[in-house]
Structure 1
Amino acid sequence: MFRQPSPAVPVRSRHIGGPGRRILPGMVVLCLGLAACSSNDGGGASPGGSGTARSGGTLTVAVASKPLCLDPQNNSSNGNTAISRQLVSSLTDQDPATGKIMPWLASKFEASASATEFTFTLRAGATFSDGEPVDAAAVKANFDTIVKLGAVDAVAASYLSGYQGTTVVDSHTAKVTFSRPNAQFLQATSTAALGLLSPASLARTPDDRCQGRGLAGAGPFVLKDTVQGQEIRLTRRTDYAWGSPVWKHQGAAYLDGIDYKVVPESGVRVGSLLSSQVDAVIGIDARDEQRLASGSATELSRPVPGVTYNLTANTQRPLLADASVRKALTKGIDRATIVRTLLTDRYHPATSILTSSTPSYANLSADLAYDPSAARALLDAGGWQAGGDGIRTKDGKRLTLSLIYPGVDTASRNVLQLVQSQLNAIGVDAQLNGLPLNQLAPDQEAGRYDLLWFGLTRADPDVLSTVFSTTAKNRAHLPAGNPLDTLLAKQSETIDAAERTALVEQAQRQIVQQAYAIPVYEQAQSVAFTGRVLGVALDGSAQPAFFDAWLAN
């Protein structure tokens, strides 16, 4: 039978500030990038503390931005997923300590030897928050709808590449069939992107679902309301009884609810935590970690699997259609200095387009070595001559590139300002354009950029297909049928783990050596919380999990 590779994840849990500052010892694990310490239980939970877990209370969490879309099937933002993950359950789950795919809404699952048929037996009694049953017909409705909405969100749809349909064998058995082998599908069923929604929710418009109108999942929390885009309030499902075996307890969540407050500035988020105005913070800029050390807080971090933070080149733009320009950018960025100067030891310089612990990662650090002399030589050979202000020109055109990034992300802005300085030193004028999220998304889709700054989380190498395949996001705007397309298609259909790894390595080399994307650093997800918060965890995709969280007083 086809078997899915099993990545595992290191987690760092540390108490910061006050007497007895401690780092919990780590496990040596296989997969998710970035050396870090692991919690003793291996599952990414916060340090224990005394007493027995108790129910009650509302957890207040500060987040960086208002989610553009609360529908987990129709977004690709980690910030959105941090909230929407609480609303949905998935057919499977991925153990964060071992990477093993575990039953969840499906009590068991089977894959055919060819990885073209996947049969899920659903556990009895699970329901969506609108009362509809989680049955085989609902599974079919979800997958059929995701495929139809492919043009709206190619992330979830890319997980169903080659989808032929779902057969309702009986009310508790669904068989999903693909026209070709789909090596990544089991892992995909553990993600929030394939989290199940009720059939009534699926009948809503994409905008309704994004705004949370009629959004009914089978998760442990339910959307209560939103407040002028500044707060998102969730409440506990008291009848929830189908939790993942990865979690520490069964039944309903301990918390009465979760109140997410939008606090754009990292420094203000951390200040709110230290003054106990909020209980937890998701996303901490490196510059604010020292402030945490002065207070009594606990920080939990996990390396983020998937595509590194990078500058993806729009190869259809005139200046970046020239491979020598793209390659010069790769050689002109000093990744080690960026990490050493602006980040912390939770982050690593990129050594490939995949993070260093994503399954099938290949170490391409030699191709990403900082070499400004070689960068200048490439530009010289391409006919780009240095102007009076140091910026190169060719045929009367300046080597000026537009670089777009999320304007709310101050950590990225700091990194990109240093990248801008480094590129300026080789004669490239990178114009930084921090966009509001509601503008960034359409500009991404329309290709209104020379360089796009982003990373994408997923604990499977098929994340490369999502970003670079011409049938998915195609952020590099490559032509259909290009050699990378062929490699990505082959790896997604290859069952043998060794053969698939070899294909993924070739794909990484092509992306890096052709400079379709310029990797910069590996991201880490972190959440910090006050001493009254216990039982927080980070899941296999490095998203905060609050099912086992409880408040000590």
Structure 2
Amino acid sequence: MIRSRVLAVAAVVATATTLAACGTDSAGGGDAGPPQPGGTLRYGLSGAPTCSDPAQSGTNQTIYVARQIVDSLTDQDPATGKITPWLAKSWEVSPDAKVFTFHLADGVTFSDGTPLTADSVRDTFDAITKLGAAKATLGTSYLTGYVGTTAVDKLTARVEFKAPNAQFLQASSTPQLGILAASTNAKPAEARCAGDNIGSGPFTYASYKQDQSVTLAKRAGYSWGSAVFAHQGEAYLDKIEFTVVPESGVRTGSLVSGQLDAISDALSQDEPQISSAGGRVLSTSNPGLVFGLQPNFTRGVLRDPVVRQALLPAIDRKQLVDTVLGPQFKPATSVLAANTPGYVDQSLTYDPAKAKSLLEQAGWVPGPDGIRVRNGERLSAAVTFSAVFAGNQAILELVQQQLKQIGFDLKLDLVSTPESLARSASKDFDFSYGNSTRADGDILRTSFALAGRNLNGRGPIPALDAALDGQLSTIDTAARNAQLATAQREVLSNGLYIPTIELSQAIGAGRNTHDVKFEASARLQFFDTWVSGR
């Protein structure tokens, strides 16, 4: 039963050996010739974007859309991880990593015609801090300790922090810190989700229908693309039409029949059908926090640190990959994915005997149904999750079976993505299941610091807190990576996270769709994409 159930949701991806693989090939077979400008790309999203505002974006499907309308101060090369120019043509970082000075490109305008200036940088960052962590979760974490931005002159912005913030340069490449026009920055959070955000990006919003569809139109006159882009000037596509298609079979059928040109979350059983129609599956691994269970330290049996420790060796991660996902996925070997800067292998070994021994020593004994009990309390907790990734339910069903073997009763609580986010924010869960993508090890601070999300509801852990702060204090890569290594060990040894698998993206592209590319954080960038044959 499980074998057939999980194979139906397995995604086909390729393991990346660099920071993130670039899916740069044309989708169709043979030489498609030089890129052809014009045409509309019809894209099938596997889930609805949660908000049209790049600053408030978080899920992959949201960022696929929002990334296209906003430019960032910098970009990150997906092959090397190097930070490269975009809106800023150059920059300086103070030795103490407190001051970042950006020299902006001249002649850049927002889609409402207003010019990009140093004031735009200041207004954007100020607005993100006003949105707050509840709305702009990632952006506010990147701006931790933000003092303010000074317009030194029209095209020079000096960004200052009260404490070292070495991660900020990479953060300046993310869509969450993309620079927006004054008209957008002046709006309250809810209004910014309505689809009329004004950026300087290669596309603009033409229409936005929540939970249904989004249409983007090419920005005429765009000429300030990232140094990572394959060409300069305007984007090739005239339009991108995003349609929300939650059912995987419907997405694939629409791709094969030519009703869609590309789709999210291509599944393994559909690859032969896609290939036979002349298409292909493009893939890359996500850097950042792997998929895992994050326990709430304030509730039920998860208050017991021994229980949390016992869960680490109780999960057979290789079985999750082999049974649910296939050989091209990777079992988690740390809190961070293997292609994340600062990653260190933590050797997450499957050892159910060790898990049982830990529980028995802590007084958890098998009950009549095999589930352990202590002082009349069952060893049971629920995991709250959503279907942001097609394999989530099947993975957790298998984890449920694995944990039952050590006497732990894991209950599955599938909810919508908005409810999952709300439950996480209010800490209304036992376990929260998810991941967080970023091509920088600072994602550990975002996820686990006392002043970060801290979904665990934990108190001080001196070694962890010192490491999370310490990695912000140096721009020396080796010294920073040493702090990140300590942080990974401390997260696991204190049971803050129970890793399962590394996430990958798998995009189905039709025969006439070319150069669909992944940026450094494994999200799509459509600037170089083009279509042929119509």
Normalising by structure 1, we get a TM-score of 0.90
Distance 1:204 1:81 in 2: 20
SS of aligned partner of 1:342: helix
Residue 54 of structure 2 corresponds to residue 72 of structure 1 = yes
1:528–1:407 CA distance, 2 compared to 1 (3 A): closer
Residues 107-141 of structure 1 show CA distances to partners (whole Å, capped at 9, x for unaligned) of: 11111222211111111111111222111001001
Distance 1:293 1:349 in 2: 27
Contact 2:59 2:388 (C-alpha < 8 Å) held by counterparts = no
Residue 71 of structure 2 corresponds to residue 92 of structure 1 = no
Counterpart position of 1:414: 394
Distance 2:236 2:495 in 1: 48
- Of 384, 391, 395, the residue aligned with 2:371 is 391
Counterpart position of 2:478: 498
Counterpart position of 1:338: 320
Residue 26 of structure 2 corresponds to residue 47 of structure 1 = yes
Deviation at 1:274, TM superposition (A): 1.6
Distance 1:173 1:481 in 2: 40
Distance 2:215 2:314 in 1: 45
Asked which structure has the greater RCO (Cα within 8 Å, sep 6+), the reply is 2
Contact 1:308 1:456 (C-alpha < 8 Å) held by counterparts = yes
Which moves more between the two structures, 272-281 or 456-465? 272-281
Q: Which amino acid aligns with 2:499?
A: P
Deviation at 1:228, TM superposition (A): 5.6
Q: Which amino acid aligns with 2:504?
A: A
Counterpart position of 2:431: 451
Residue 146 of structure 2 corresponds to residue 163 of structure 1 = yes
Contact 2:19 2:520 (C-alpha < 8 Å) held by counterparts = no
Matches within 5 A, 1:194-273: 194-212=177-195, 214-227=196-209, 229-273=211-255
Name stretches of at least 5 consecutive residues in structure 1 with no aligned partner. 1-22, 33-37
SS of aligned partner of 2:69: coil
Contact 1:346 1:524 (C-alpha < 8 Å) held by counterparts = no
Q: Which amino acid aligns with 1:68?
A: T
SS of aligned partner of 2:398: helix
Distance 1:370 1:481 in 2: 26
Matches within 5 A, 1:315-464: 315-365=297-347, 368-407=348-387, 409-464=389-444
Residues 401-427 of structure 1 show CA distances to partners (whole Å, capped at 9, x for unaligned) of: 110111454311111110111111111
1:480–1:128 CA distance, 2 compared to 1 (3 A): farther
Deviation at 1:201, TM superposition (A): 0.3
Deviation at 1:264, TM superposition (A): 0.8
SS of aligned partner of 2:421: helix
Deviation at 1:546, TM superposition (A): 0.9
Residues 333-389 of structure 1 show CA distances to partners (whole Å, capped at 9, x for unaligned) of: 100011011112331011000011211111111xx2111111111111121121121
Distance 2:239 2:515 in 1: 15
Counterpart position of 2:9: none
Counterpart position of 2:44: 62
Q: Which amino acid aligns with 2:256?
A: L
Residue 113 of structure 2 corresponds to residue 131 of structure 1 = yes
Residues 11-56 of structure 1 show CA distances to partners (whole Å, capped at 9, x for unaligned) of: xxxxxxxxxxxx99x9x95435xxxxx6xxxx53123832221221
Distance 1:382 1:530 in 2: 56
Contact 2:146 2:162 (C-alpha < 8 Å) held by counterparts = yes
- Of 501, 507, 510, the residue aligned with 1:530 is 510
Q: Which amino acid aligns with 1:67?
A: P
Distance 1:318 1:414 in 2: 25
Counterpart position of 1:177: 160
Counterpart position of 2:19: 31
Contact 1:44 1:539 (C-alpha < 8 Å) held by counterparts = no
Counterpart position of 1:187: 170
Counterpart position of 2:465: 485
Residue 289 of structure 2 corresponds to residue 301 of structure 1 = no
SS of aligned partner of 1:269: helix
Name stretches of at least 5 consecutive residues in structure 2 with no aligned partner. 1-12
Residues 54-109 of structure 1 show CA distances to partners (whole Å, capped at 9, x for unaligned) of: 22111011111111112111132222111110110000001112211111011111
Residues 217-255 of structure 1 show CA distances to partners (whole Å, capped at 9, x for unaligned) of: 111111111236211111111121111111111111111
Normalising by structure 2, we get a TM-score of 0.93
Count of equivalent residues? 517
Q: Which amino acid aligns with 2:164?
A: P
SS of aligned partner of 1:206: coil
SS of aligned partner of 1:528: strand
Deviation at 1:464, TM superposition (A): 0.4
Contact 1:339 1:348 (C-alpha < 8 Å) held by counterparts = yes
Deviation at 1:286, TM superposition (A): 4.3
1:126–1:446 CA distance, 2 compared to 1 (3 A): same
Distance 1:285 1:426 in 2: 32
Deviation at 1:294, TM superposition (A): 4.6
SS of aligned partner of 1:455: strand
- Of 311, 314, 321, the residue aligned with 2:296 is 314
User: % of aligned pairs identical?
Assistant: 41
Distance 2:268 2:32 in 1: 30
- Superposition CA RMSD, Å: 1.9
Contact 1:220 1:240 (C-alpha < 8 Å) held by counterparts = yes
Counterpart position of 1:147: 129
